[in-house]
Amino acid sequence: MAIETTAVRDTARTTPRPRAPRRRGQRSPLASLGLHATLIVATAVAVFPVLWVLVTSFKPTSEAYSTALVRDFTVSNYSRVLDSQFPRWFLNSVIIAAFTMLIGIFIAASTGYALSRMRFPGYRPLLWLFLVTQMFPVAILIVPIYTIMARLRLINTYPSLILAYLTVAVPFCAYLLKGYFDTIPVEIDEAGRVDGLSPFGAFWRLALPLARPGLAVTAFYTFLTAWGEVAYASKFMTSEDKYTLAFGMQTYVGQFKTEWGDLAAASILVTVPALVVFYVVQKYLVSGLTAGGTKG
């Protein structure tokens, strides 16, 4: 009996224990290592150009092509940029982008709310029209829009660019906000109407605050549309004092010489307003990842 018990114990020791079943969604160590390595490489690829431009902005012009880090730290590039027409271009871009963002949010929000809550003749064709307008490249739209602006005598003025950018941003943003308003129960609007609110009052006081994630996306998109656009700005603005930043920075690139230090410094300064806008709306952008996918 003792011999059998000892044999059973030896068999139990030598027999490998079965592995616990892997839970759903659990990755193996090798898969986790590969995933993290891929993310690190992707992050390095995305961040490296920005860091390189930042480093170049503090280099003298003679070291712009050097692959080494900053040897002779200097801020002369920023001084030259700020002493040029750059501040004027910066102001022009801020004015145009701010008005494009504010007007675009109001038009897109009211349009999206109407498409979400109302059914009227031409409802479906209008939705398709919003999608179709996104298919036309700038090269096709710039000529008719320029003709309209010329007849209205708006060439070389802020309204010409603001209107042009609204034609690009509003259709997409209106379609986007329609989806956000669809997630808001209609009963909320009906309760407001019972309490005496007008249709616009229900939109302004009830639906609009609940669609803040969608409004944040709209604000960010419209701002970036106006901030970094070049094609319309290069055709509609004819005097140097009306240039926007994206178009004015081409002056640093000459036919025979490129001021890489000044161009890098200007590029860093251009990103600051976009980062500020992103910082202001980023908490709504994060919440908007789930707000548009569920119906409350």
CATH of the domain at 219: 1.10.3720.10
pLDDT in tens, 256-287: 777 888 888 888 888 888 888 888 877 777 65
Q: Is the pLDDT of residue 113 over 80?
A: yes
Q: Is 283 helix (H, G, I), strand (E, B) or coil?
A: helix
Instruction: Return the pLDDT at 19.
Output: 56
Instruction: Return the pLDDT at 147.
Output: 93
Look at the chain and report how many structural domains it folds into.
2
Q: Which two tokens stand for residue 72?
A: 């002779």
Instruction: Return the pLDDT at 156.
Output: 92
Tell whether 219 and 154 lie within a shared domain.
yes
In order of 112, 123, 131, 139, 173, the CA distances from 136 in angstroms are: 21, 21, 10, 8, 16
More confident residue, 23 or 127: 127
Instruction: Return the pLDDT at 94.
Output: 93
Q: Is the pLDDT of residue 231 over 50?
A: yes
Tell whether 48 and 93 lie within a shared domain.
no
Say which residue the tokens 């042009």 belong to: 164
Tell whether 41 and 93 lie within a shared domain.
no
Question: pTM score, two decimals?
Answer: 0.79
Instruction: Return the pLDDT at 21.
Output: 55
Q: Of 174, 175, 152, whose CA–CA distance to 164 is shortest?
A: 152
Please identify, among 41, 74, 107, the residue that sits at the C-terminal boundary of a domain: 74
Q: Is the pLDDT of residue 98 over 90?
A: yes
Q: Is the pLDDT of residue 65 over 80?
A: no
Instruction: Return the pLDDT at 9.
Output: 55
Tell whether 216 and 275 lie within a shared domain.
yes
Q: Is the pLDDT of residue 96 over 90?
A: yes
Tell whether 63 and 176 lie within a shared domain.
no
Q: Which residues pair with 67 in a beta bridge?
A: none
Q: Which residues pair with 253 in a beta bridge?
A: 258
pLDDT in tens, 2-43: 555 555 455 555 555 555 555 655 667 887 888 889 999 999
Tell whether 141 and 53 lie within a shared domain.
no
Q: Which two tokens stand for residue 93?
A: 């871009």
The rounded distance, in Å, linking the Cα atoms of 91 and 227 is 11
Q: Which domain holds residue 69?
A: 29-74
User: How many other CB atoms are found less than 10 A from the CB of residue 39?
Assistant: 10
Do you know the residue count of the chain? 296
* Rg of the chain, C-alpha, whole Å: 28
Question: Would residue 3 count as lying in a domain?
Answer: no
Tell whether 68 and 121 lie within a shared domain.
no
Tell whether 43 and 166 lie within a shared domain.
no
Q: CA-CA-CA-CA torsion for 81, 82, 85, 86, nearest 10 degrees?
A: 80
Question: Would residue 241 count as lying in a domain?
Answer: yes
The rounded distance, in Å, linking the Cα atoms of 193 and 204 is 12
